[in-house]
Structure 1
Amino acid sequence: MRIAVLALDGLFDTGLAVTLDTLKAANGLSARLMGGAPRFDVSTVGVRRRVRSGQGFAIPVQAITPDLKPDWVIVPALNATTPELLVPALERADVKDAVRQLRQWRDEGVLIAASCIGTFLLAETGLLDHRHATSTWSLAPLFRQRYPHVLLDESRMLVPSDIGVTAGAAMGHLDLALWLIRKTSPELAALVSRYLLADIRTLQAPYIIPNHLAQADPLIQRFERWSREHLKEGFSLQRAANALATSTRSLQRRCREVLGKSPLAYFQDLRVERAQALLHGSGLDLEAIAAEVGYEDGATLRTLLRQRLGRGVRDLRAELR
């Protein structure tokens, strides 16, 4: 598999390093333990001759020439972790050149993989419009605002599509590299995972911080505060709207636009977050925790935790042991 990793000024150092190191480990393990040749021909390319990382390190890059014929292009994240940093970065001349290059590669049949904030560059091309995708959960409100035609699900770690694949936040670069290795050889991917002590993750949901997402909108911030004060009560959309001096329709619309979910779903996210905290540190049994977050019995809470987090109560309690 021929892979080109697209490097831009100010990229996330860890994202580039973990991508290259994981693919290098795959090549080494393929040769040493599986008796085969290296599976990946990896090059680091740039739209500019000189590229520096977010930490200021010079990154050697190859020029993009007509004879470069990758099967896959990987777009690592920029080290721009807030809207105030990211929006201006997306307007840079080199980023716009990279967007044009991605469109050209796709026109030539190249598949594109993007991780974390790299998914914003891919979304800038328009190639994700009307397709399912994921991105870094922390900037999901901005992603929805900027790319309303993308079918975003930031709860997932990896989302394949017909144009390639998108991956989630920060260490999603590792999940993406393992996914590409698995496309070539599931056995090799399992070896690399064990070699790097890297568990396979399918969800970002356990890592999402609801309070962080609420900061993107004043009404959602107020709804979050109200919700935390009323977790023990059954959810009522009308009561929430009345308390916030808005209409049920406006509250529903803002939740969809900012969070990509209903007010009830966000309320349940806060219940799950609180239940996780109590499971980790309170010593309460499941029935008592269920009562603390507004459920009549532990069975309902147990089901919700598994649905949202992909793990059972026993696994969650064991995390901090």
Structure 2
Amino acid sequence: MRRERVVVLALDGVYPFELGIPSRILGAADGRYEVLTCSVDGGPVRTNADFGVTVEHGPEALATADTVVIAPVAPAHLADEVPGDVLAALALIRPGTRIVSICTGAFVLAAAGLLDGRRATTHWQVADHFRRMFPHVDLDPDVLFVDDHPILTSAGAASGVDVCLHLVRKDHGSRLANTVARRCVVPPFRDGGQAQYIEQPVPEQGAATTAATRAWALERLGEPLTLADLAGHARMSLRTFARRFHEEVGLSPGRWLIQQRVGRARHLLESSDLTVDQIAGRVGFATGASLRQHLNAAIGVTPQAYRRTFQTTR
């Protein structure tokens, strides 16, 4: 079995936690990935903590990578232009190589011109700064990660875990991704987007939440749930429920339901021989055509193509 080589580029000011995410998550995938860490000159790298790190590889490792990960740096280290040594290192990446950024790593890709005209994300706290610097990038600060093949960008800190699990899921299927998540004691897939983590006023003590209703809905995805059904279960008015749901999850109830149904459909496409119409009925889409439309909008492929991709992993 060929192992995919993942090379993580560590820059001065790197966050130690995020630097270690690819090795920890991808390293738990039953030997499917080889993770190397490099710097722009092969020398030690200063972190944003009170210690540095020594890496084993120089920039030449980037030329051997199947996937390159740009680890994030503290905002104080962000510059309007990419330093020459960083540009030289990025130039070693082979055309077509998959590139992933975590958090502020998107600034490096954008400054190098790699995100022009692409959809991308970064940490919500620096989203406005990013937009001012890179108006040609279609920034979406509400999501945890964006897969605009072959470039993926993710939001802050733990979103690096989300995007690495996405790589495993995309490369080898949900079963292995779920196994990796269990081994690392993290959720295999987080609902919603960044909005749920943006600083919000602390709710009054005893204020109702939508968590119980979300759990209730997940048990009934095959039913034609409406906003009125959800609000009625939560014992809130439509307006209050929709507002509170968005505050807690970062998505509208309707968009969240579609996301959950698509996720359930992907699992059934991978793990069962049910027809597309049967799967559509089980996850709450009215027709197979509706499932096809939503799956294509979410990941850009048809159910048949998705199933063919993962048949070898079943």
- TM-score (norm. length: structure 1): 0.60
The structure 1 residue matched to 2:208, chosen from 258, 263, 279, is: 279
Percent same amino acid among aligned pairs? 28
The residue aligned with 2:220 is none
Q: Deviation at 1:130?
A: 0.8
Q: Could you list the per-position Cα deviations for residues 67-90 of structure 1 after superposition, in whole angstroms to 9, with x for gaps in the alignment?
A: 94111100111023xxxx24xx32
Q: How many matched pairs? A: 226
Q: Quickly say closer, same or farther: Cα 1:311–1:66, change in 2 above 3 A.
A: closer
**Matched residue, 1:76:** 71
1:12-48 residue CA offsets vs partner (Å, 9 max, x unmatched)? 011012222112222xxx2xxxxxxx11111111102
Q: Deviations over 1:86-118 (max 9, x none)?
A: 4xx32687x442234324415x32221001011
Question: Aligned partners of 2:97 and 2:64: how far apart in 1?
Answer: 8
Matched, 1:196 2:184: yes
User: Could you tell me how far apart the structure 2 residues matched to 1:202 and 1:120 are?
Assistant: 25
Is the CA contact 2:209–2:244 (under 8 Å) kept in the aligned structure 1? Answer: no
Structure 1 CA distance for aligned equivalents of residues 256 and 123 of structure 2: 21
Q: How does 1:83-102 map to 2 (within 5 A)?
A: 85-86=76-77, 89-90=78-79, 95-102=83-90
Counterpart for residue 50 of structure 1? 44
- Which of 13, 16, 20 is equivalent to 1:10? 13
Partner of 1:19: 22
- Residue 166 of structure 1 corresponds to 153
| Match in the other structure for 1:65 | 60
In 2 relative to 1, CA 159–9 (structure 1 residues): closer, same or farther, beyond 3 Å? same
Q: 1:63, 1:104 → 2: CA distance?
A: 11
Distance 1:147 1:91, change over 3 A: closer
Q: Offset at 1:181?
A: 1.7
> In 2, Cα distance between the equivalents of 1:68 and 1:179?
23
How far is 1:177 from its partner? 1.5
In structure 1, the residue matched to 2:113 is 126
| Partner secondary structure for residue 116 of structure 2 | coil
CA distance in 2, matches of 1:14, 1:166: 17
Query: Given that residues 18 and 72 in structure 2 are in contact (C-alpha distance below 8 angstroms), is that contact kept between their aligned partners in structure 1?
Result: yes
Residues 248-305 of structure 1: CA distance to partner in whole angstroms, max 9, x if unpaired? xxxxxxxxxxxxxxxxxxxxxx9xx969993259xxxx799967xx94x75x557756
Per-residue deviation, 1:10: 1.4
Q: Flag the structure with larger Rg.
A: 1
Instruction: Name 1:252's counterpart in structure 2.
Output: none
Q: 2:144 matched to which residue of 1?
A: 157
The 3 A distance-change label for structure 1 pair 114 and 275 is farther
Question: Which position in structure 2 is the counterpart of 1:39?
Answer: 32
1:143 maps to a residue whose letter is F
Residue 311 of structure 1, CA deviation:
6.3
Which secondary structure state, in structure 2, belongs to the residue aligned with residue 90 of structure 1? coil
RMSD in angstroms over aligned alpha carbons? 3.4
- Following superposition, the deviation at residue 50 of structure 1 comes to 2.2
- TM-superposed deviation, 1:191: 0.2
Q: Does 1:308 align with 2:252?
A: yes
Distance across 2 between alignment mates of 1:290 and 1:130: 41
1:117 corresponds in structure 2 to 104
Q: Distance in 2 between matches of 1:55 and 1:66?
A: 25
Deviation at 1:204, TM superposition (A): 2.7
Distance 1:12 1:209, change over 3 A: same
Measure the CA separation in 2 of the matches of 1:144 and 1:203: 22
Report how far residue 154 of structure 1 moved: 1.0
Q: Which amino acid aligns with 2:40?
A: V
Asked if the contact 1:8–1:78 (Cα under 8 Å) also holds between the matched residues in 2, the reply is yes
CA distance in 1, matches of 2:86, 2:74: 16
- Cα distance change of structure 1 residues 102 and 178 upon mapping to structure 2, 3 Å threshold: same
| Per-residue Cα deviation, 1:107-152 (whole angstroms, up to 9, x for no partner) | x322210010111111111111111111111111101111101111
* TM-score normalised by L of structure 2: 0.62
